[in-house]
Amino acid sequence: MQVKTEKTPINDVVIIIPEIYQDDRGFFIEVFRKDKLDEIGIPSSFVQLNQSGSVKNVIRGLHFQWDPPMAKLMRVVQGRAFLVAVDIRKGSKTLGKWFGREFSSESKHMLYAPAGCARGFCVLSDYAEIQYLCTGIYNNKGESGILWNDPEIGIDWPVKDPILSYKDGKAQTLKQWLNREESNNFNYE
């Protein structure tokens, strides 16, 4: 597996570009290979794989988990989606900054965002499926979210009238999160 990476404006958020073996039969990629991720500095202690399917204009996020801290390696396995990471780590030079880009099942690029980043996406195609490898087991008592349209973050979502869950539509702002005791779990060093 040959892995290329592309840095983003947020510390530790990385685009992973896997090598694609393609011929007239189709394609093959190595989605996860511990030794190669270790070589490029991506923690490879994934313990859970999630997959969601959504229709066009759905926004899911911005989600994160502090107990246990959860990093995610996200990829679009069907369709197209705008994947987003927001730095919510106290002391980080990029605190409150966001990175977003279109990802697709055709490109096969992946987005790694460490614990201490809120993650989300919006669906651009009629339907999309997103997989995320997680470094922590899901714990509903140790997870939360940031409001998708928090004006202090200012994400430029490529959708006008998003479809949201009730929970995502009523999430806290980054400022509210940073005032919570649990936010101290994400200090940047």
Is 109 an annotated catalytic residue? no
pLDDT of residue 102: 98
Q: What is the mean pLDDT of the chain?
A: 94
- Specify the higher pLDDT residue, 4 or 54: 54
> Which range of residues forms the domain containing residue 61?
47-184
14 in any annotated domain: no
pLDDT of residue 19: 85
pLDDT of residue 1: 58
107 in any annotated domain: yes
The count of structural domains within the chain is 1
> Residue range 15-41: average pLDDT?
87
Give 107's pLDDT tier (boundaries 50, 70, 90): very high
> Residue range 77-81: average pLDDT?
98
Ramachandran sector of residue 93 (left: φ over 0; alpha: ψ -120 to 50; beta: rest) = alpha
For 14, other C-beta atoms within 10 Å of its C-beta total: 21
Interatomic CA distance for residues 185 and 118, integer angstroms: 13
13 in any annotated domain: no
7 in any annotated domain: no
Q: Which of 109, 127, 132, 188 is catalytic?
A: 132
> Residue range 55-64: average pLDDT?
97
167 in any annotated domain: yes
Q: Which of 63, 127, 138, 166 is catalytic?
A: 63
DSSP string computed for the chain: --EEEEE-SSTT-EEEEE--EEETTEEE--S--HHHHHHTT------EEEEEEEETTBEEEEEEEBTTB--EEEEEEESEEEEEEEE--BT-TTTT-EEEEEEETTT--EEEE-TTEEEEEEE-SSEEEEEEEESS---TTSEEEB-TT-TTT----S-SS-B--HHHHTPBPHHHHHTSGGGGGGB--
Q: Is the pTM of this model over 0.75?
A: yes
59 in any annotated domain: yes
Q: What is the CATH number of the domain that holds 103?
A: 2.60.120.10
For residue 2, is pLDDT > 90? Answer: no
179 in any annotated domain: yes
For residue 31, is pLDDT > 90? Answer: no
- Specify the higher pLDDT residue, 37 or 154: 154
Is 63 an annotated catalytic residue? yes
